C-alpha cells in the first residue's frame, strides 16, 4: 500500500471547514467526507519534537524525554522501521533536513518539505506500490509565510513578530489569525490536491493507497493573558487550543464515510497506519494502539522547559518537564509541576477551560493516580553530542 502521512504544523482542530472552521479547505473537506475523520484527537505535546516522537513510536513524551531535533529515537521499532520491515520504501520530507530526524536514519530523509514541487515530484516519480512517506508541512507554522526559509531566518523573523504581538496584542493578533487562515488555505489549494493524487498513483487497486492528514499540535495567540516567549506561540501550556488537532484518513473503502467517535491520541496514529496497511504492529508495550482495536478512556500530554536553543542541556527530568495533563472526553486534569498546582476542568460545562474546579469535583477517580505514575516515570534523554561548530551552525550559539 502507498501510505502518505501529512503533518501540518500547528493545525488546530477547529480550523478546517469540515470542522466548522473559517478556513476554506475544500480538498481536506472532501478527504474527510470520503474517508474517516476523528472529531476528538489530541496531541501528546504542544510542540513538534515531543509530539512527532510520540507519533512515530506510539510512546508518550515523558517516556522518551526528547527535547532537541538532533536526539535519536530510542532503540527498537518505530513507524519508519516497521514499514521498511513490511517491504515498504520509506522516505521523509521535513522543514530542514539538518534538524528534524537528523539523528533518525530510519526516517529516510530525502529533502525539505519547503520545496513542495520536489515533494510531489518525488512521490509521483516513485512507482513502488508499497511506500510510506512522512511529510512535515511547515507553511502553517508561525509566522505563516509561504516561502522557504532557513531556520536562522525564521527565528529572526519570529522574534520580531512576537515582540510586536507583545507590544500591541489587540492590533497584531487579528493580523496573525488572518495570516494563519491564509496559510492553511494555501496548503489546501496548492499542495494537498497534488499530494493526494501522487499518493494514489501507482497504487495496487483502489484500496492500495492511504493519505492521513493531521497536525502535530494546535496554535494560540496569547489569548490567555501571556504572549508566548518560548516554543513560538503554542508550546508553553496544555490547553485544548494547542492540544486538539484534526485527524483524517482517506483512501481504502473500509474508511469511507466514517466518523470515529470518542477520544483518540496521536500516539494511536502510527499503529493505525500500520493496521490499515496490513503491516506488523510495533512490538513491546506501547501507549498507542490502532483505532480499530478499541477505544480509549484517557490520553496523556506533557509540556517542557525551553532547552531547544540552549547549548546547556537539562541534567534530570525535574529540570525538563513543567506540566502534565490527563484528557478524557469530559474532563481535563492539569498539573503544573513547577508550582505543584492541580486543576480540574469540566469540558462539557466549560469547554474553554476558564473555570477550574477543585480536585475531587467529579473527575475520574483514577486520573490523579495515573498522572502520579507518569510523573514517576518521567525521563530526560541524554543530550546529543554536538561539536561547538555544529551548535553554532544550528543557531544554538551566538
What gap in Å lies between CA 109 and CA 116, rounded to an integer?
Answer: 15
Between strands 41-42 and 264-265, the pairing is parallel
Mean pLDDT, to the nearest integer, of 222-230? 67
Mean pLDDT, to the nearest integer, of 287-310? 90
Determine which of 90-104, 219-233, 371-385 has the lowest per-residue pLDDT on average.
219-233
Question: SS3 for 248-263, per residue?
Answer: EEECCHHHCCEECCCE
Between strands 131-137 and 264-265, the pairing is unpaired
At 395, is the pLDDT very low, low, confident or very high (cuts 50, 70, 90)? Answer: low
More confident residue, 225 or 79: 79
What gap in Å lies between CA 300 and CA 51, rounded to an integer?
Answer: 12
Instruction: With a cut of 80, say whether residue 309 has pLDDT above it.
Output: no
Determine which of 65-79, 162-176, 196-210, 227-241 has the lowest per-residue pLDDT on average.
227-241
At 354, is the pLDDT very low, low, confident or very high (cuts 50, 70, 90)? Answer: very high
CA 324 to chain centre: 17
E strand or H helix at 112? strand 109-112
| Contact between residue 256 and residue 35 where contact means Cβ atoms under 8 Å apart | yes
| Contact between residue 61 and residue 45 where contact means Cβ atoms under 8 Å apart | yes
Select from 23, 11, 28 the least CA-distant residue to 248: 28
At 230, is the pLDDT very low, low, confident or very high (cuts 50, 70, 90)? Answer: very low
125-175 pLDDT per residue, tens: 999 999 999 999 999 999 998 788 888 888 888 888 888 988 898 999 999
- Entry pTM: 0.95
28's grid cell:
481536506
pLDDT of residue 229: 52
Residue with cell 515523558: 62
At 312, is the pLDDT very low, low, confident or very high (cuts 50, 70, 90)? Answer: confident
- Highest-scoring range by mean pLDDT, 195-199, 227-231, 381-385: 195-199
At 398, is the pLDDT very low, low, confident or very high (cuts 50, 70, 90)? Answer: low
175's grid cell:
493580523
19-61 pLDDT per residue, tens: 999 999 999 999 999 999 999 999 999 999 999 999 999 999 9
**On the CB side of 330, how many CA atoms lie within 13 Å of its CA?**
6
The set of residues, in sequence order, having a beta carbon less than 8 Å from that of 4 and lying 6+ positions away, is 123, 131, 132, 133, 135, 195, 198, 199, 210, 211, 212
**Sheet architecture: strand order including 258-259:** 109-112, 89-94, 131-137, 2-8, 209-215, 247-250, 36-37, 258-259
Between the CA of residue 276 and those of 41, 210, 269, 326, 348, what are the distances in Å? 18, 8, 11, 28, 32
Averaged pLDDT score across all residues of the chain = 92
187-203 pLDDT per residue, tens: 999 999 999 999 999 99
What gap in Å lies between CA 375 and CA 345, rounded to an integer?
Answer: 20
At 383, is the pLDDT very low, low, confident or very high (cuts 50, 70, 90)? Answer: confident
| Contact between residue 147 and residue 116 where contact means Cβ atoms under 8 Å apart | no
CA 179 to chain centre: 20
Q: 36 burial class (0-12, 13-18, 19+ CB within 10 angstroms)? A: buried
Backbone angles phi, psi at 23, to 5 degrees: -70, 135
Amino acid at each position: 500500500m502507498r501510505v502518505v502521512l501529512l503533518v501540518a504544523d500547528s493545525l488546530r482542530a477547529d480550523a478546517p471547514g469540515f470542522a466548522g472552521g473559517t478556513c476554506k479547505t475544500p480538498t481536506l473537506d472532501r478527504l474527510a467526507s470520503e474517508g474517516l475523520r476523528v472529531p476528538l484527537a489530541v496531541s501528546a505535546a504542544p510542540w513538534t519534537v515531543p509530539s512527532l516522537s510520540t507519533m512515530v513510536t506510539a510512546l508518550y513524551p515523558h517516556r522518551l524525554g526528547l527535547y532537541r531535533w538532533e536526539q535519536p529515537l530510542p532503540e527498537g521499532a518505530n513507524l519508519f522501521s516497521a514499514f521498511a520491515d513490511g517491504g515498504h520504501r520509506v522516505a521523509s520530507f521535513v522543514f530542514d533536513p539538518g534538524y528534524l530526524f537528523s539523528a533518525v536514519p530510519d526516517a529516510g530523509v530525502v529533502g525539505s518539505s519547503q520545496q513542495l514541487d520536489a515533494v510531489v515530484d518525488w512521490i509521483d516519480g516513485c512507482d513502488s506500490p508499497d511506500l510510506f512517506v512522512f511529510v512535515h508541512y511547515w507553511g502553517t507554522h508561525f509566522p505563516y509565510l509561504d516561502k522557504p526559509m532557513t531556520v536562522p531566518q525564521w527565528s529572526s523573523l519570529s522574534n520580531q513578530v512576537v515582540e510586536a504581538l507583545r507590544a500591541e496584542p489587540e492590533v497584531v493578533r487579528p493580523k496573525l489569525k488572518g495570516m494563519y487562515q491564509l496559510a492553511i488555505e494555501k496548503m489546501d489549494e496548492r499542495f494537498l490536491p497534488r499530494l493526494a493524487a501522487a499518493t494514489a498513483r501507482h497504487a495496487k487497486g483502489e484500496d492500495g493507497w492511504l493519505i492521513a492528514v493531521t497536525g502535530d499540535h494546535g496554535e494560540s495567540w496569547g489569548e490567555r493573558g501571556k504572549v508566548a516567549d518560548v516554543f513560538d506561540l503554542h508550546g508553553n501550556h496544555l490547553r485544548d487550543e494547542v492540544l486538539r488537532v484534526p485527524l483524517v484518513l482517506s483512501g481504502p473503502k473500509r474508511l469511507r464515510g466514517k466518523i470515529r467517535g470518542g477520544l483518540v491520541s496521536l500516539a494511536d496514529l502510527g499503529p493505525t497506519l500500520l493496521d490499515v496497511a496490513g503491516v506488523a504492529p510495533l512490538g513491546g508495550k506501547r501507549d498507542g494502539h490502532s483505532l480499530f482495536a478499541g477505544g480509549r478512556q484517557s490520553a496523556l500530554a506533557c509540556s517542557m522547559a525551553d532547552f531547544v536553543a540552549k547549548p546547556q542541556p537539562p541534567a534530570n527530568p525535574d529540570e525538563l518537564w513543567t506540566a502534565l495533563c490527563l484528557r478524557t472526553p469530559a474532563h481535563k486534569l492539569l498539573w503544573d509541576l513547577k508550582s505543584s498546582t492541580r486543576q480540574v476542568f469540566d469540558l462539557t460545562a466549560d469547554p474553554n477551560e476558564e473555570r477550574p474546579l477543585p480536585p475531587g469535583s467529579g473527575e475520574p477517580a483514577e486520573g490523579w493516580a495515573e498522572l502520579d505514575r507518569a510523573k514517576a516515570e518521567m525521563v530526560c534523554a541524554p543530550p546529543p553530542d554536538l561539536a561547538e561548530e555544529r551548535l553554532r551552525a544550528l543557531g544554538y550559539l551566538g
